Amino acid sequence: MTTTSAASMLLQKQLKELQSRSSLDGFSAGLKDDDDIFKWEVMIFGPTNTFYEGGFFKAELVFPQNFPSSPPKMKFVSEIWHPNISKEGEVCISILHEPGDDKWGYEQASERWRPVHTVESILISVISMLSSPNDESPANVDAAKEWRTEYNTTFKRNVRKCVTKSQEFL
């Protein structure tokens, strides 16, 4: 069996498991195109008791041909203001970093990608990240600065703008 077909089978299994569940906490997920198992679209629901509450944030997951040996890439399509999401929407979270030791020594290998991660574990981690950003390793330096120094003012206002914008397309 080729790596691609093994990855395809695993992703099909995970998709089927997600679709068979009656409810998912905080997200929905499916294929972007029924003919491509490697490109998914997801909707992240803003976690309760956060500034993101009430938001519906669309994102894409693109899986490599050698999944689960390597992690997918995740990018928000919806505008979202967060220290660990670049202004272009790219998600920077430890479990989506290549497996093994971090060449900069910031992350432990146990925090990085491991083949046991699933689509569900990725999305649960992203939802957790929305609630508890890591402002020490920001993908969006401006959002991280606001998180630290203007949390209840400018940061909150910028997040709420994104939440309002996310509701316009429902």
Helix (H, G, I), strand (E, B) or coil at 87: coil
- Looking at residue 24, its pLDDT comes to 66
What's the pLDDT at 50?
96
| b/e burial code for range 76-87 (CB count within 10 A of at least 16 → b) | bebbbbbbbbbe
Q: What residues form DSSP beta bridges with 31?
A: 40
pLDDT tens column, 83-132:
999 999 999 999 998 888 777 767 778 888 999 999 999 999 999 999 99
Active site residues: 92
The model's pTM: 0.91
Tell me the mean pLDDT per 10 residues along the chain, length 170: 81 92 81 95 95 97 96 97 98 90 76 91 95 91 96 97 89
What is the predicted pLDDT for the residue at 170?
A: 67
CB atoms near residue 151 (< 10 Å): 11
> Widest CA span of the chain, in angstroms?
55
Tokens 């203007």, residue located: 150
- What is the pLDDT, as a whole number, of residue 35? 92
- To the nearest 10°, report the CA torsion of 84, 85, 90, 96: 30
Tell me what pLDDT residue 149 has. 96
